[in-house]
Amino acid sequence: EPEVTQTPSHQVTQMGQEVILRCVPISNHLYFYWYRQILGQKVEFLVSFYNNEISEKSEIFDDQFSVERPDGSNFTLKIRSTKLEDSAMYFCASSLTGTTDTQYFGPGTRLTVL
Amino acid sequence: GDSVTQMEGPVTLSEEAFLTINCTYTATGYPSLFWYVQYPGEGLQLLLKATKADDKGSNKGFEATYRKETTSFHLEKGSVQVSDSAVYFCALSDSSGGYQKVTFGTGTKLQVIP
């Protein structure tokens, strides 16, 4: 069964550094998403992406964040200058359509900012 | 805005006990409803879903019925196993704004003891 994959599984970085989290969505899916889960809290929507542009973003997704689909398979989340409060599990998801279709989630990248 | 409320955990049950995890929602449109499961150290897996009122989603012995009149989507299983120990997230997706995002509840940790 096709699945969403994410790398790395765990990333440790120093405050102020840039990080790039990578995702490979399911191959025929057209809509891509990032969510985050701070330890012990609920999963929160960050951004959705379609046709090479952001379709919706949350208040969390400020100028420090950016997303990109650099080629036909990868989908990346960049945090320009990490803060301690960016420490969280980041989940990538994809769906075939952008309306009623199910989103399939990757295993997550645990980001630890020291 | 959309929101999902689910019962606080942790829930501790003996093997073969009956499980209910309550979930209620608030949405402006006609959402699809989901239960996701997160096993220890893993990502989010779709457990079951229902896309319209009175639909019943089921998988691996788990069931949930979309109740529009009570805005609920309670998760049930007749006989839990130790392997069901995980965190369960109730969620909805609402595309009334044009693009969908998934709104999650806070999660309910289930621990099944032999």
Give B81-112 pLDDT, tens digit per residue: 999 999 999 999 876 655 578 899 999 999 99
pLDDT surpasses 70 at A54: yes
Question: Which tens digit of pLDDT belongs to each residue from A7-16?
Answer: 999 999 999 9
- Chain B interface disruption, residue of A6, A31, A34, A42, most B CBs within 10 A: A42
Low-confidence ranges of chain B (pLDDT < 50): none
pLDDT surpasses 60 at A79: yes
For chain B, give the percent of residues with pLDDT over 90: 72
Residue with tokens 């997706």, as numbered in its chain: B93
HSE of B34, CA atoms in CB hemisphere, 13 A = 25
pLDDT at A101: 72
Task: Give the separation between CA B7 and CA B20, rounded to whole angstroms.
Answer: 10
Beta-carbon separation of A33 and B101 below 8 A = yes
